[in-house]
Amino acid sequence: MRSHLPGRWDVVGPFVQTTPAKLVIAPQDVRTADPTVATDIYAGLFAFAGHAVDVGGNSPFLITPPSEDWARSLHGFSWLRHLRASESTLSRSNARALVDEWIRLSPKLPPIAWEDAVASRRLLSWLSQSPLILEDCDHAFYQRFLKAVGRHVHHLRTALARSSDGISRIRMIMALTAAAAAIADQPGLARWATRALDREISLQILPDGGHISRNPGLILDLLVDLLPIRQALSVRGITPSPVLGEALDRMMPMLRFFRHGDGSFVLFNGMGSTHTDLVATVLAYDDSRGTAPDNARHSGYQRMAASGAVVLMDTGTPPPLAYSRDAHAGCLSFEFSDRTNRIIVNCGMPAGAKSKWRGLARSTAAHSTLIVEDTSSARILPAHGLGHRLGPVLYNGPKHVDVRREDDEEQMAVVARHDGYAGRFGLLHERTVVLSADGRILIGRDRLEPVRAGAGDKLPFAVRFHLHPQVRANRSQDGHSVLIVCEDRSAWRFTAEDIQPEIEESVFLAGAHGMRRTAQIVLYGRVSGTSTVTWQLEKEADRPRSRRRPAESGGEGREEPLLF
């Protein structure tokens, strides 16, 4: 629920003339660019969202698109940056011709071209690439382009007035704020847009710098646009508000929070493959160069790091409904890496994939956590009925997640419990994850506690550990352990108390070049009263002599081997 209910003036903003007089600044586009893509585009090859289409001399805007994601990428014009990178007269004329063609064809284009997020991206792309588009252009094209910019501003202001909560709102407001900085002689638009941006940032950016959707990738996506917008406002003499500056200062450390040693983001709640070069570009704007925080309680995540080993754990409830279209039923799932080796992962969100794969990616089974009776801890609204209007939102998930840290000089520990299975099965899932101070031993305990006598009795459960496709898993001859060998030949041994680990097929959905086959370790059991599964992952090296386990509730810690 929005805490601020604006009036019509707040939402629509002041009058802006239909055709701006001129553009005076171009916000920077910090996304990485590849000049070879410009050559492909000139040859009529448009490759987006996993599909490469040769338009064969036809307009790319009139062909039948291979997928909706491909069409959104085409009409968003973010690909103009590749033409800029080629730094050739041919690319400039090609960029101008394609933009002009889109403007001429706009009355005939399908509705997807005017979706709020697509129109926002297109306006931002046109503004940031306006030097490329407008260099050496004639006056007639310049006027057509300015008129199209004005039309986009009007369209987005109108769309904003009818929109409800959601990620598209901040995208629209960012595009309008960029336009306010770029268009000459519009102080009223600038004042309105910056106030609207402040309101939306206050709603969507959490106190710890995470996004309300809990999608790690959205932090990067927003920073890529917000940083140039702040810079453009400053150049125009429009002082950015403290709200924007403070939000950026909170968001930057979260980039480090979500990163593994290889630079990739953790695969939680809509996150797919990571553009590591873009992360590095954005982090160059971080003057503080601070370390990653350990506790992101507002975003619902915990991080433990020691000697190159990193554990990231989802300890949050589902996001508000309007922000949950990409959220996952992955409560208490975790990922583990050692230096540049990603070892235990979640399956991740595929890019431009069919809906059946996106649904699978969001299920509990696609995460490294415990699942009861092959049932997800939260539900996804089906596409028919109410889901047709609301989208595939996540609902009926955990209402309460209790979290505590138990860190000392010898180890770090996260203890968390969720009630996502309480309503259906009468069970609470508690997970304890412990990382030794030298980063060589990872211990876990998964416990199912009945909320009443006999609840969930004899129900099957499984504890899944999805492995990154770059590691190899082999079960020992006696079947009691699994040896995980990384690309650099380092090895980790997985064991579990009283359960023989199984190795099964899995799929890594977040690959940069598509889905990849991989494996998963699975521990099977049945509920019997309070059921506990204890597991350990140890680097194949000299075992530390002793560690102190975290104290049980109300008890004192004691010296003993780290294994529970």
Task: Tell me which H or E stretch contains 173.
Answer: helix 167-182
Q: At what angle do helices 242-257 and 216-235 cross, to 10 degrees?
A: 140
Q: Answer for the pair 440, 309: CB distance below 8 angstroms, yes or no.
A: yes
Residue 557 lies in a domain: no
Residue 549 lies in a domain: no
Quick one: which of 62, 38, 67 has its CA closest to 52? 67
Buried b (16+ CB within 10 A) or exposed e, 13-29: beebeeebeebebbbeb
Note whether 196 and 105 are same-domain residues.
Answer: no
Residue 493: which pLDDT band, with cuts at 50, 70 and 90?
Answer: very high
Position 558 scores a pLDDT of 33
Where among 234, 268, 292 does a domain terminate? 292
Residue 125 lies in a domain: yes
Where among 106, 138, 162 does a domain terminate? 162
Position 382 scores a pLDDT of 87
Note whether 100 and 138 are same-domain residues.
Answer: yes
The residue-averaged pLDDT of 275-297 equals 88
Residue 43: which pLDDT band, with cuts at 50, 70 and 90?
Answer: very high
Note whether 385 and 479 are same-domain residues.
Answer: yes
Question: Which tops the pLDDT comparison, 8 or 193?
Answer: 193
Parallel, antiparallel or unpaired: strands 45-48 and 309-314: unpaired
The structure tokens listed for 57 are 């001399």
Position 388 scores a pLDDT of 65
Note whether 184 and 158 are same-domain residues.
Answer: no
Note whether 316 and 452 are same-domain residues.
Answer: yes
530 bridge partner residues:
none
Instruction: Give percent of the chain with pLDDT exceeding 90.
Output: 83
Non-local (6+) Cβ contacts of 545 within 8 A are none
Per-residue pLDDT reduced to its tens digit, 374-386: 999 999 998 777 7
Per-residue pLDDT reduced to its tens digit, 195-210: 999 999 999 999 999 9
- Match 């987006």 to its residue by tokens: 48
Position 153 scores a pLDDT of 97
CA atoms 87, 89, 91, 96: torsion sign: positive
Q: Answer for the pair 342, 422: CB distance below 8 angstroms, yes or no.
A: no
Residue 8: which pLDDT band, with cuts at 50, 70 and 90?
Answer: very low
Note whether 41 and 149 are same-domain residues.
Answer: yes
Per-residue pLDDT reduced to its tens digit, 444-469: 999 999 999 999 999 999 999 999 99
Q: Which domain holds residue 540?
A: 301-544
The residue-averaged pLDDT of 174-189 equals 94
Q: Torsion over CA of 55, 59, 61 and 66, rounded to 10 degrees?
A: -20
Residue 120: which pLDDT band, with cuts at 50, 70 and 90?
Answer: very high
Give 29-32's long-range contacts (Cβ < 8 A, gap of 24+): 29/81, 29/84, 29/125, 29/128, 29/129, 29/228, 30/224, 30/227, 30/228, 30/278, 30/281, 30/282, 31/78, 31/81, 31/224, 31/278, 31/281, 32/275, 32/277, 32/278, 32/281
Note whether 503 and 539 are same-domain residues.
Answer: yes
Residue 6 lies in a domain: no
Question: Which tops the pLDDT comparison, 354 or 466?
Answer: 466
Note whether 284 and 185 are same-domain residues.
Answer: yes
Per-residue pLDDT reduced to its tens digit, 513-522: 889 999 999 9
Q: Answer for the pair 242, 201: CB distance below 8 angstroms, yes or no.
A: no
Evaluate if residue 275 carries a pLDDT over 60: yes
Q: Answer for the pair 484, 343: CB distance below 8 angstroms, yes or no.
A: yes
Across the chain, mean pLDDT equals 91
Evaluate if residue 472 carries a pLDDT over 60: yes
Residue 354: which pLDDT band, with cuts at 50, 70 and 90?
Answer: low
Q: Residue 119 region, left (φ>0) first, then alpha (ψ -120 to 50), else beta?
A: alpha
The residue-averaged pLDDT of 396-403 equals 98
Q: Answer for the pair 510, 266: CB distance below 8 angstroms, yes or no.
A: no
Quick one: which of 178, 213, 522, 259 has its CA closest to 394? 213
Residue 555 lies in a domain: no
Position 355 scores a pLDDT of 59
Compute and round to an integer the Cα radius of gyration of the chain.
Answer: 25
Note whether 264 and 356 are same-domain residues.
Answer: no
Residue 65 lies in a domain: yes
CA distance 342 to 333: 15
Residue 231 lies in a domain: yes
Q: Answer for the pair 223, 255: CB distance below 8 angstroms, yes or no.
A: yes
CATH number at residue 401: 2.70.98.70
Position 3 scores a pLDDT of 37
CA distance 50 to 192: 39
CA distance 470 to 467: 8
Where among 109, 131, 162 does a domain terminate? 162
Note whether 150 and 194 are same-domain residues.
Answer: no
Position 541 scores a pLDDT of 60
Q: How far apart are the first and last CA of the chain?
A: 44
Position 513 scores a pLDDT of 83
CA atoms 155, 58, 71, 221: torsion sign: negative
Note whether 109 and 157 are same-domain residues.
Answer: yes
- Match 């400039």 to its residue by tokens: 92
Number of domains in the chain: 3
Position 554 scores a pLDDT of 37
Residue 421 lies in a domain: yes
DSSP-assigned states of every residue in 207-242: TTS-BTT--HHHHHHHHHHHHHHHHHHHHTT-PPPH
Note whether 130 and 43 are same-domain residues.
Answer: yes
User: Residue 503 has what DSSP assignment?
Assistant: E
